[in-house]
Amino acid sequence: MRLDRPTTSVYFDTRFKSAIVFPVKIRVTFYRESKYYPTGVEVTKEDFERINGKRPTPEARERKRAIEGQLAHFEKVLDALPGFSFEKFERAINQTTKDILQIENGFNENQ
């Protein structure tokens, strides 16, 4: 593992105790500085345990695939960056997300 490369992990954000559902985020850490990026997935504590359990339900598997897909996308962007900074990473993530949406919209219009 390269030391100059950030690490990524899934983070279940339970900081707001009054909430029933909590967001699942992706944590990117570089030289002890962490930033959290939303996945768009919000689940209860029980659902999060099901997602990571030994026998997840079909719905839990679908959510897990969505989270893992975003994590893989972040890893791919990190691998493509020549040098890391959070600013460069956020620009790259925003640009690739726009490109993906344009491709999906073009595909849907042609159907």
Tokens of 107: 């595909």
Cβ atoms within 10 Å of 72's Cβ, excluding its own = 11
Average pLDDT per block of 10 residues along the chain, 111 residues long = 78 84 94 92 90 87 91 90 89 70 48 50
Residues 27, 11: contact at Cβ < 8 Å? yes
Tell me, rounded to whole angstroms, the distance of Cα 24 from its chain centroid.
Answer: 8
- Give the pLDDT score at 1: 47
- Give the pLDDT score at 107: 46
- Give the pLDDT score at 4: 78
Tokens of 12: 């279940």
